[in-house]
Structure 1
Amino acid sequence: MYASTLFASTLFVATALAHGNITSPPARQPGPVMQQVCGSQAVSAILADGTGPLENIPSNGAADCNIFLCKGAQFEDNMKNVQTFAPGEKVAFKAQLPIPHEGPANVSIIDTATNTAVGQPLLVFDSYADENLAKLPPNNTAFSVTMPTSLGTACQTPGECTMQWFWFGTSAQQTYENCVDFVMSA
């Protein structure tokens, strides 16, 4: 209980300090399984700056720890947040971008076994979070994607797929991502 409370409290503080993250739907968070797989340094880095770049998350080199898949956050720590979406459904996203870094971004469905995109991206920004703008366009922090109708039987098992928000700050040379675990209804 204490470990869960510590994770939740620290994560809340860390999220308020960072560069950007998805606030809705619920994104994967670090937890005890991530600590077992990726080590305490990786979890500590995320808890210190919950939406910092992937480049700031140390990898322990373990084969099961893939920082470039959901920042190393493990499905087993996030099973209660699995969303159910229907083919053709519009899914609203909200993002927090306290420190913008201009660069490309997208939202894609990712096969978690191979860390590869399933089909085409659901949304693409050629230029996202441009720090040179006086105010970011509203669609940088509130946007929606339409779930594909062509997945067949893919993404019907929890943990098989995730919807990944991916953003690369070109000048900053920093990579950001969040994952939303989901299943497609039949």
Structure 2
Amino acid sequence: MQIPWRNISWVVLVLFAYNCQTCNGQDYGGEEKPAAPPPEQETCDGIFITYNFDGREKIYPLVKNVSAQGWSFKSMLTVLNTGIFELKSWQVFVGFQHKELLVSADGAVAIDGDGFPVRVGKNGTTLAGYPQSDLKTAIDTAGDFTQMSAQINIKGTQFGLKEKTNPMPSTIKLVNEGYKCPAPKRYSTYV
């Protein structure tokens, strides 16, 4: 029995094509470009701080008196080193103003207290990085945000707010000397 080579060549070609794999090294289709940083980041002296309010909800006891009603809140404080020098032992002042009681701050300690919970609503508080107290530069880390930034998840309780109030701190600022940044700017309101 003689096998026609034309039929075998098609079978070999089909088997070869079935075992081929493709790889796309850089696929730019469909991916969105990252959002541009706020313009204030360019005028900062190497350290950029943001405070994001993540939400709140009423907690017990539920009372009719607005000033006595407690609210559980969550927020995130981010400290980013965009400069050319390492930031040693970072400290950020957060001007809390709504009778806040901080329950936890993952990634930081409150300098003004002996531990959590700590009352901070009258005068604010200074948070210091722990365990990551030093923020390296993008140059030293090849842009590794885990080494050049700290994200602090804050949980706490606040009082004296109506339901649609925007409970932001009065100010945030870097305590470390040798850095200057513009005054804080609010970008959105709580709805």
TM-score range, shorter chain: 0.3 to 0.5
TM-score, scaled to structure 2: 0.35
More helix by share: 1
TM-score, scaled to structure 1: 0.36
